Amino acid sequence: MNRPLPSPRNLARRLLSLGRGRGLDLSGQASFAVPAQAITTLAGPTEFRDTLLSLIAQARRRIVLVALYLQDDDAGREVIEALHAARKAHPDLSVEVYVDWHRARRGLIGKGDSEGNAAMYRDYAQRLGEGVVIRGVPVQNRELFGVLHLKGFIIDDAVLYSGASLNDVYLARHGRYRLDRYHLIRHQALADSMVGYVDAQFRGRDAVPRLDRLPLPRTRDLQEPIRRLRQSLQQAQYEGISEAPGDGDVAVIPLAGFGRNDNALNETLLALLRGAQRRVILLTPYFNLPRQVRVVIGHLLRRGCQLDIMVGDKTANDFYIPPEQPFSRIGLLPYLYEANLRRFAHDHQGAIDSGQLNLWLWRDGDNTYHLKGLLVDGEFAVLTGNNLNPRAWALDLENGLLLRDPSRRLLPQHEAEWQALRRHATRLAHYRDLPGVRSYPPEVRKLLRRMRRMRLDRLVNRLL
């Protein structure tokens, strides 16, 4: 029988004990003892793509893929064709894909009206059969106010975890890539727990329709089912019988988070930051930290903890529009993030000068940056799709894997990942090294002035 799981608030209290020197109490949690050798950090998007396709081809019992989207492009079609091929080779294989409902039914931003990726799903189902079930998850009634940002590909007893979605740039097709983090964990109980969450929250719910067949319901007709889904998600956590870690094991704790209150993932992230003793590495693609995180970072710096923050250069942002291309309003976002970073650097210039705070800007040609997560004191790591921004904090459905590694068996992998990232990163020596608003393109300066005059900049930051 499963042990009762504590409330998110109780989980936060236990994690807060890190800062008081009592250690991390995992009793009663869905915590899985994973041998360190069963956890692998993949080197990059090409290895991630190859591993995903290999796992799909080898699958015999189940495939459950959860991502923001599965795109109608070469890489997306390669994945969906691999899924159909696996199902054809093994008719008893269960294949389910869950993507965001709103994102699947629209075209790309700025590309005009479209039936979205759902049209591709229906086309494959009509040609190859309905053995690959693709469902859309509407976390909110409108995409602006929240999306499915849950992550994890479970294939038999393997968990392939990344913040990446499935398209050409995430899977490094056609010479460009969007860099994320990629981890493969082979452990049956963890895989069962992650599948159990998806089954309990999504499978069979009226709010989660199939996208691979017609007719599709209207979102307005799903309002009451969506309300019930939100209520369920606010209470939901991963379940499972806890396992006591042995020598050489890593405790892996899957956590979900949805909404501002009693959000286990948010509280865990804050608790880990508060309890840090020596060093924190924080990764985020969009520098727009929630207020609570900024406050804790201030405390960390005041008590002498070393802090490394890596973000993407504005040109490595997926919304960046080069000057030679026609500008649209979505191209304002990278400049907003850069302005946030410049203000943060200004406020903490003393810590930058002393080397206590290191701000790293990642850039590699025309490739883009999408990393997120925490590394704390060499013992704790958080793998997550959470962007560490106000939207993730309050609107989107997020999850993450907390890894506790007291023996530091994974430290060589973490260090190798960090060194690889820094090969394409530059340390910011002074806030003035970042351009000011006066140097921005005229269209950007005009939009920023208008937003500040109407006091919309804070609202926009909360929705980003």
| Closest C-alpha among 146, 149, 160 to residue 79 | 160
Q: Which residues of 319-344 are buried (b: 16+ CB within 10 A; e: fewer)?
A: bbbeeeeeeeeebbbbbbbbbbbbeb
> Quick check: is 289 in a domain?
yes
| Closest C-alpha among 197, 192, 235, 434 to residue 335 | 434
CA 19, CA 280: separation in Å to the nearest integer? 14
Query: Own/partner pairs for 344-349, CB < 8 Å, 24+ apart?
Result: 344/287, 344/289, 344/294, 345/428, 345/430, 345/431, 345/434, 346/431, 348/301, 349/430, 349/431
The CATH number covering residue 404 comes to 3.30.870.10
Among 85-94, 192-201, 235-244, the least confident range = 235-244
Same domain, 185 and 126: yes
Is 398 a known active-site residue?
Answer: yes
Query: Which positions ≥6 away from 339 have C-beta within 8 Å?
Result: 437, 448
| Closest C-alpha among 313, 333, 324 to residue 424 | 313
Which one from 100, 370, 379, 396 is the annotated catalytic residue?
Answer: 370
Q: Residue 106: its pLDDT value, please? A: 86
Same domain, 147 and 254: no
Which one from 72, 84, 102, 149 is the annotated catalytic residue?
Answer: 149
CA 90, CA 102: separation in Å to the nearest integer? 31
* pLDDT tens-digit series, residues 25-47: 445 569 999 999 999 999 999 99
Same domain, 307 and 362: yes
What DSSP string describes 201-229? Answer: HTTT-TTS-BSSSSPPPPGGGGHHHHHHH
Q: Residue 13: its pLDDT value, please? A: 44
Q: What is the tally of structural domains in the chain?
A: 2
> Quick check: is 18 in a domain?
no
> Quick check: is 168 in a domain?
yes
CA 388, CA 289: separation in Å to the nearest integer? 6
> Quick check: is 5 in a domain?
no
* pLDDT tens-digit series, residues 403-429: 999 999 999 999 999 999 999 999 999
> Which structure tokens are listed for 356?
């206590």
Same domain, 339 and 413: yes
Same domain, 336 and 451: yes
For residues 97 and 154, the answer to whether their CB atoms sit within 8 Å is no
* pLDDT tens-digit series, residues 317-357: 999 999 889 988 889 999 999 999 999 999 999 999 999 99
Please report, as a single letter, which amino acid is at residue 155. I
Full residue range of the structural domain in which residue 262 is found:
249-463
> Quick check: is 242 in a domain?
no
CA 40, CA 186: separation in Å to the nearest integer? 9
Same domain, 352 and 448: yes
Q: How confident is the model at residue 266 (pLDDT cuts 50, 70, 90)?
A: very high
> Which structure tokens are listed for 81?
């064709």
Radius of gyration of the chain (CA): 22
Same domain, 159 and 189: yes
Q: Is the confidence at residue 313, as pLDDT, over 60?
A: yes
> Quick check: is 9 in a domain?
no
> Quick check: is 443 in a domain?
yes
Same domain, 168 and 199: yes
**Tokens 């159909």 — which residue?**
84
Asked which of 235, 269, 285 is the last residue of a domain, the reply is: 235
Q: How confident is the model at residue 283 (pLDDT cuts 50, 70, 90)?
A: very high
Is 324 a known active-site residue?
Answer: no
Furthest-apart CA atoms within the chain: distance in Å: 63
For residues 312 and 360, the answer to whether their CB atoms sit within 8 Å is no
Same domain, 183 and 282: no
Query: Which positions ≥6 away from 110 have C-beta within 8 Å?
Result: 328, 330
Same domain, 42 and 68: yes
Is 370 a known active-site residue?
Answer: yes
Same domain, 172 and 299: no
CA 180, CA 172: separation in Å to the nearest integer? 11
Q: Is 383 helix (H, G, I), strand (E, B) or coil?
A: strand
Which one from 180, 379, 396, 417 is the annotated catalytic residue?
Answer: 180
What residues pair up with 166 in beta bridges, in sequence order? 70
Same domain, 423 and 292: yes
Residue 412, exposed/middle/buried by CB under 10 A (0-12, 13-18, 19+)? exposed
Asked which of 209, 235, 261 is the last residue of a domain, the reply is: 235
* pLDDT tens-digit series, residues 148-183: 999 999 999 999 999 999 999 999 999 999 999 999
Is 299 a known active-site residue?
Answer: no
Q: What is the pTM of this model?
A: 0.92
Q: Is the confidence at residue 275, as pLDDT, over 50?
A: yes
Q: Cis peptide before 215, with omega less than 30 degrees from 0?
A: yes
> Quick check: is 425 in a domain?
yes
Asked which of 184, 201, 235 is the last residue of a domain, the reply is: 235
